[in-house]
Amino acid sequence: MSVRPSTLPCVRQRGATLLVGAIVLLLLVIAAFDGVSVPYVALVPGPTWNTLGIDQNKEIITISGGTVSAPKGQLRMVTVGVQDHITLWEAIQGWLSSDDAVVPREVIYPPNQTRQQVDQENQQEFKSSQNAAIVAALRELGFPVHVVVTDLPADSPSQGKLRKGDEIDSIDGQPVTSGQKLTTLIRSRPVGTALTIAYKRGGVPATTTVSTIAASDKTPRIGIQIDEQQPSPYSISISLDNVVGPSAGLMFSLGIVDKLKSTDLTDGRTIAGTGTIDEEGNVGAIGGIPQKMRGAKRDGASIFLAPADNCKEAVANAVPGLKLVKVRTLDDALSALATLDSGGTPPSC
């Protein structure tokens, strides 16, 4: 049998390609077992904490200034563990696992930031989430936020109209329930809009009109500095080491409310959940919900409070035996827990 000369180069090229491919594969396998790291990180179910409980011999939520109850159940905040400097073999294992996720390292640690900078930002987010959780919980317990003017720059459009100590009640008839809400209301109208501001001065109600000007970032402002005051008999602090990010806000708020209410929100259950929270009690989406749900189930939870904006992903990664409950606000979460307590069925994802 003869072979035409014109086919020989093709045969040789194919053989060379297979040889190079085999060598590359061999090198990759060697690298995988040799501990050479790849530019990926593994996301795994992290530890969970009962916000009603203790960490390192200290209460996670400490409250003084009033009667604190001792709930029988658990409200568990959940986390995602990040494994850095993984090998190719570990990456392959993660890709094949239903519990873990493997993502490019730059998703967690952007190339323009050091790991220390990322960790510092996450720590600040964690602290901010605690403060918002406390504000939202106290508001739920009947202690509103008062937004008070603390200073007016010389070029402020509010000069001669507002003073230090004025308590701002509303903008164009919309209640000002937090500094966040004040900013939202001011920025909801174009620069140059004349806003009707209702306020109290020395306890006496009054109104004035201030036209907004553009800030350095071109957003509308009325040129005041403010402070949030939320008088209550309670002193509340949250302490938890080695946790960063904002996603525990909802569970911190629920823990505070549960400790200060006479009724047990959990009815003895182990309930887990996640979600950012702002001072208005709005619950926001988070990342890593598949790993967080698996961590919750591992640590005994049967119910999982999921932000509404994460519901689609949560359903796609449902964990058997873990009931998903959809929440958009702190009120939603409290209503859902009350419904469960009465034997009803709360809104589900």
**Residues 312-321: pLDDT tens digits?**
999 999 999 9
Closest by CA position to 74, among listed 254, 246, 249, 289: 254
pLDDT exceeds cutoff 80 at 17 = no
Encoded tokens for 330: 């702190």
H runs (alpha helix) in the chain: 8-33, 88-96, 105-108, 115-140, 179-187, 249-260, 289-298, 311-316, 330-341
Q: For strand 101-104 and strand 40-45, is the pairing parallel, antiparallel, or unpaired?
A: antiparallel
**Start-end of H helices in 56-143:** 88-96, 105-108, 115-140
The token pair that represents 277 in the structure block: 């929270």
CB atoms within 10 A of CB 24: 10
Using an 8 Å Cβ cutoff, are 64 and 259 in contact? Answer: no
Q: Which of 92-96, 241-245, 328-332 has the highest mean pLDDT?
A: 328-332
Q: Find the helix or strand (DSSP H, E) in which 181 lies.
A: helix 179-187
Taking the alpha carbons at both ends of the chain, their separation in whole angstroms is 68
46 touches 81 (CB < 8 A): yes
The 10s digit of each residue's pLDDT in 195-246 is 999 999 999 999 999 999 999 889 999 999 999 999 999 999 999 887 888 8
Q: Which amino acid is at 125?
A: E
The model's pLDDT over 34-62, given as tens digits with 9 standing for 90+, comes to: 567 788 888 999 999 999 999 988 999 99
Please name which of 274, 337, 336, 346 lies closest in space to residue 306, comparing C-alpha atoms: 274
Q: Quick count: other Cβ atoms within 10 Å of Cβ 14? A: 10
118, two tokens: 């990322």
Residue 325 in contact with residue 306, Cβ under 8 Å? yes
Whole-angstrom distance, CA of residue 23 vs CA of residue 254: 57
Distance of alpha carbon 79 from the chain centroid:
11
The CATH class that applies to domain 47-78+120-141+232-341 reads: alpha beta
DSSP letter for 5, please: G
Query: Taking the domain 146-229, which CATH number applies?
Result: 2.30.42.10
Residue 30 has pLDDT above 80, yes or no: no
